[in-house]
């Protein structure tokens, strides 16, 4: 076989890719006809493709490259750790220094009494862990019938059987016979799409109270936990009305339902604090973390447990673990990433300087004729595309058609924005500068203009 190198022509790389690489969340036939964009290297907020084109990555990969691309310190730490101890497991009463240091650091950073860390390799794995954990917790407390986990429609909690079941994506449930038993979904707090004539505050309260209704319907003695992202990310950066989270917290406290807060996107500075729970004043019993934990430089994730949950679980042998739980190289890389976030005051900068700068410019996009609302917290934002700003109407075309076109215009203009239905979302590296924010907004505005023109030209 011919050597496959960076020098190979793009079309040949694309053909080999389509022939042998099965992509996640991709229509493989389309890939064969269109070819994937081949990304060669990256630096700061920029990707460079196989044609040498520079692309502004307003998604930080998949919401994960918080410290930006190309930080050699992480490569150095990984190489050092690979030489010293490339692998050892943390099963059966063994441990190593990187995992001890990372656990202690996370206990220091996490809010409240979240002091105990169980590691996995991905956010999906961590949520699988959470499902088994909460059921084990209640069984240990003599209530094995408390098994039901309540989640939300349009939530994303991963792609494994438990992750996709906990998630509320109907397209995912349709494949593979999901959800698994004893997972229930209530409606999401998406005022823009579903709030009708209600005020956002009334709607937020009503949607939170769906949790109480579900608990009463199942019976409090059957419900183990509620899981939610502070701000739904993959669902379209849906920011709940202000009334929502205080009511959810009240209900979880009243019925003693464990609250699992999935911080896979919101963690590590994304919302302007270390965790979204701090921004929204939520008190989790268990927190899921991944992505920004290593800024995507190494696959690592975790569940962080409160003192109480850890104490109860500690009463038994939890028959659960992954070969890569607490992987020493990934743990060392994550620690170095946390050092950079802390020493370079990246979270503070998002909260006080570049975050507010981006927010002002992003919110101004609401003046564009195609935009019905612009939402942003910290550095995660969304805009809703609409043919009618007053009524918040949907387009005639199938949901997602216009969003997809807008994404294609972004891509052609060297900006990566994602579309979720007809919402456009951003989540740039947290180190983005004000100049780069200006470029992001310019390119996004151009993509919106081109999309509007296309809608007019094609009568969509």
Binding site for ligand PLP (CB under 6 A): 62, 122-124, 127, 156-158, 163, 229, 233-234, 262, 264-265, 290, 301
Q: How far apart are CA 71 and CA 252, in angstroms?
A: 41
Closer to ligand PLP at the Cβ: 68 or 163? 163
Paired sense of beta strands 148-152 and 54-57, if any: unpaired
Q: How far apart are CA 83 and CA 90, in angstroms?
A: 19
Q: Tokens for 91, please give them.
A: 């099963």
Closer to ligand PLP at the Cβ: 298 or 312? 298
Q: How far apart are CA 4 and CA 67, in angstroms?
A: 30
Residue 224 neighbours by CB under 8 Å, 6+ apart: 134, 135, 137, 138, 146, 147, 148, 149, 257, 258
Using DSSP, state whether 87 is helix, strand or coil. coil
Q: Determine whether 437 is exposed, middle or buried from the number of CB atoms within 10 Å of its CB (0-12, 13-18, 19+).
A: buried
- Least distance (Å) between residue 244 CB and ligand PLP: 17
- Least distance (Å) between residue 212 CB and ligand PLP: 24
- Least distance (Å) between residue 1 CB and ligand PLP: 31
- Least distance (Å) between residue 24 CB and ligand PLP: 9
Closer to ligand PLP at the Cβ: 204 or 292? 292
Closer to ligand PLP at the Cβ: 312 or 420? 420
Burial string for 220-252 (b: 16+ CB within 10 Å, else e) reads: eeebbbbbbbbbbbbbbbbbbbebbbebbbebb
- Least distance (Å) between residue 32 CB and ligand PLP: 25
Q: How far apart are CA 229 and CA 288, in angstroms?
A: 9
Closer to ligand PLP at the Cβ: 172 or 215? 172
- Least distance (Å) between residue 170 CB and ligand PLP: 17
Closer to ligand PLP at the Cβ: 290 or 341? 290
Closer to ligand PLP at the Cβ: 121 or 403? 121
- Least distance (Å) between residue 166 CB and ligand PLP: 9
Which is nearest to 69 in space by CA: 431, 433, 434?
A: 431
- Least distance (Å) between residue 158 CB and ligand PLP: 4
Closer to ligand PLP at the Cβ: 252 or 265? 265
Closer to ligand PLP at the Cβ: 264 or 305? 264
- Least distance (Å) between residue 159 CB and ligand PLP: 6
What secondary structure letter does DSSP report for 190? -
Helices (H), 146-301: 161-166, 170-173, 191-194, 200-218, 244-255, 276-279
**Residue whose tokens read 């190494």:** 298
Sheet of strand 380-385: strand arrangement: 371-377, 380-385, 423-426, 418-420
**Which residue's beta carbon is nearest to the bound ligand PLP?**
123
- Least distance (Å) between residue 122 CB and ligand PLP: 3
Q: Do 382 and 375 meet the contact criterion of CB atoms below 8 Å apart? A: yes
- Least distance (Å) between residue 270 CB and ligand PLP: 11
What secondary structure letter does DSSP report for 365? G
Residue 256 neighbours by CB under 8 Å, 6+ apart: 220
Closer to ligand PLP at the Cβ: 176 or 356? 176
Closer to ligand PLP at the Cβ: 139 or 180? 180
Q: Determine whether 168 is exposed, middle or buried from the number of CB atoms within 10 Å of its CB (0-12, 13-18, 19+).
A: buried
Paired sense of beta strands 223-228 and 258-262, if any: parallel
């Amino acid at each position: 076989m011919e050597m496959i190198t960076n020098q190979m022509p793009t079309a040949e790389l694309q053909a080999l890719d389509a022939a042998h690489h099965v992509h996640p969340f991709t229509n493989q036939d389309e890939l064969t006809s269109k070819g994937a964009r081949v990304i060669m290297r990256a630096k700061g907020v920029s990707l460079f493709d196989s044609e040498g084109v520079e692309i502004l990555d307003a998604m930080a990969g998949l919401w994960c490259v918080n410290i930006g691309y190309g930080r050699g310190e992480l490569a150095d730490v990984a190489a050092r750790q690979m030489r010293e101890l490339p692998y050892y497991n943390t099963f059966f009463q063994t441990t190593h220094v990187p995992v001890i240091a990372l656990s202690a650091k996370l206990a220091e950073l996490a809010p409240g009494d979240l002091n105990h860390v169980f590691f996995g390799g991905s956010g999906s794995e961590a949520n699988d862990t959470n499902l088994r954990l909460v059921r084990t917790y209640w069984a240990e407390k003599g209530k094995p019938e408390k098994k039901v986990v309540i989640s939300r429609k349009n939530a994303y909690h991963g792609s494994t059987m438990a992750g996709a079941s906990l998630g509320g994506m109907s397209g995912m449930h349709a494949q593979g016979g999901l959800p698994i038993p004893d997972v229930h979904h209530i409606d999401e707090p998406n005022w823009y799409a579903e709030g009708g004539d209600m005020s956002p505050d009334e709607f937020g309260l009503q949607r939170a109270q769906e949790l109480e209704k579900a608990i009463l319907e199942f019976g409090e003695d059957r419900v183990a936990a509620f899981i939610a992202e502070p701000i739904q990310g993959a669902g379209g950066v849906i920011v709940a009305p202000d009334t929502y989270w205080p009511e959810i917290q009240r209900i979880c406290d009243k019925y003693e339902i464990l609250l699992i807060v999935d911080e896979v996107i919101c963690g590590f500075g994304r919302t302007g604090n270390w965790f979204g729970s701090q921004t929204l004043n939520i008190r989790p019993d268990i927190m899921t973390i991944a992505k920004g934990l290593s800024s995507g430089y190494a696959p690592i994730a975790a569940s962080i447990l409160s003192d109480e949950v850890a104490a109860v679980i500690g009463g038994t042998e939890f028959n659960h673990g992954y070969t890569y739980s607490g992987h020493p190289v990934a743990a060392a890389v994550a620690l170095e990433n946390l050092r950079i976030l802390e020493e370079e005051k990246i979270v503070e900068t998002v909260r006080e300087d570049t975050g507010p700068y981006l927010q002002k410019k992003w919110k101004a996009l609401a003046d564009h004729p195609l935009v019905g609302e612009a939402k942003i917290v910290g550095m995660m934002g969304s805009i809703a595309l609409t043919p009618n700003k007053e009524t918040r109407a949907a387009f005639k075309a199938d949901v997602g058609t216009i969003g997809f076109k807008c994404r294609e215009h972004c891509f052609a203009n060297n900006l990566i924005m994602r579309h979720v239905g007809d919402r456009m979302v951003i989540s740039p590296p947290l180190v983005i500068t004000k100049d780069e924010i200006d470029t992001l907004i310019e390119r996004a505005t151009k993509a919106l203009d081109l999309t509007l023109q296309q809608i007019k030209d094609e009568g969509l």
